[in-house]
Amino acid sequence: LVSKKWKINRTIIDLGDDVTIGGNELAIMAGPCSIENEAQIENTVQHLLKNNIKIMRGGVYKPRSSPYAFRGLGMDGLKLFYKHCKENGIKVITEVMQVSQVEEMLDYVDVFQVGARNSQNFNLLDVLGEVDKPVLIKRGMSGTIEELLASAEYVFSNGNEKLLLCERGIRTYENAYRNTLDLNAIPILKEKSHLPVIVDPSHGIGLRQHVATMALAGVVAGADGIIIEVHEQPENAFSDGQQTLYYEQAEELYRKAKVLFQNI
Ligand code: PEP
Ligand code: MN
């Protein structure tokens, strides 16, 4: 069902209020790795408004390698996050980690994100197939392209056709950077599937100084959108500061990415 053999026209995801993903405008989703507090939300919203960005990312349930690391503000954080975004016409994308969270999150989310670690959580995918909200599925840490498409198939076959595929880097033997952003996956996914493809260079390379370059490379490769970690003070971010852009860096990237998208 996610294959081009099934549907010839490319899928466009409509988030309402004229916010679409997969059309002839580059979709930009930006925000912190983790939602930290209300001031940070307000600050990020101002940054997005200034740059005409309509979708804010931010985790409230964080999959962390260490149980002692910051694991997110949970539903209290999500409610604040959603409230500020809603007031300002911004859509919310955030990660859902388990089946039991889906229902309570439903009214405070515009796009559900399935993280790399949950890319093959088939029970979660089944349940997300029954909701009326778009779902962005990240490629698994060591997932193949076929496995990502099969994960999307779980959601689609349960009735939810509003899907986005995300390349966020895979684990390889290379350790000069966090993950290996597989740019090859982008044209292949677009060839195989009618679903929009999003590139996440923040997790894909994991090094702030190279995130913008890889985002632009992703656009050239055919991505319909980019998802980027930004923070007013990345060095003080609760998670993923090393790969998080300063606002000025992000602004330069948004400008370049939009121009590039229109010219390829
Ligand atoms: C994130 O988006 O902050 C995240 C945890 O991503 P991933 O699942 O790709 O590691
Ligand atoms: Mn992150």
Q: Residues 126-175: pLDDT tens digits?
A: 999 999 999 999 999 999 999 999 999 999 999 999 999 999 999 999 99
What is the mean predicted confidence (pLDDT) over 240-254? 98
How does the average pLDDT of the chain come out, rounded?
A: 98
Neighbours of ion ligand 2 (CB under 5 A): 33, 240
Ligand 1 contact, 168 CB (< 6 A): yes
**The model scores a pTM over 0.90:** yes
The one-letter code for the residue type at 195 is L
Q: How far is the CA of 116 from the centre of ligand 1 (A)?
A: 6
Torsional sign, CA 41, 44, 48, 50? positive
Query: ipTM value of the model?
Result: 0.99
Q: Hey, what are 228's tokens? A: 């980027």
Tell me the CATH class for 24-262. Answer: alpha beta
Q: How many residues does the chain have?
A: 264
Provide the pLDDT confidence category of residue 36 given band limits of 50, 70 and 90.
very high
Tell how far the Cα of 8 is from the centroid of ligand 1, in angstroms: 30
pLDDT score of 20: 98
Give the pLDDT band (50/70/90) at residue 73.
very high
The SS3 assignment for 105 reads helix
Q: What is the mean pLDDT of residues 100-107?
A: 98
- The closest-lying atom of ligand 1 relative to the alpha carbon of residue 62 is 5
Query: Closest ligand to 206 CA?
Result: 2
AA letter at 114: V
Give the closest ligand to the alpha carbon of residue 179.
1
The structural domains of the chain, with segments of one domain joined by +, span 24-262
Ligand 1 lined by 178 (C-beta under 6 Å): no
Q: For 36-57, what is the mean pLDDT?
A: 98
CA of 208 to the centre of ligand 1 (A): 15
Mean pLDDT of the 237-258 span: 98
Q: What is the pLDDT of residue 107?
A: 98
> Residue 42: pLDDT band by 50, 70, 90 thresholds?
very high
What confidence tier does 212 reach under pLDDT thresholds 50, 70, 90?
A: very high
Cβ proximity of 52 and 78 under 8 Å: no
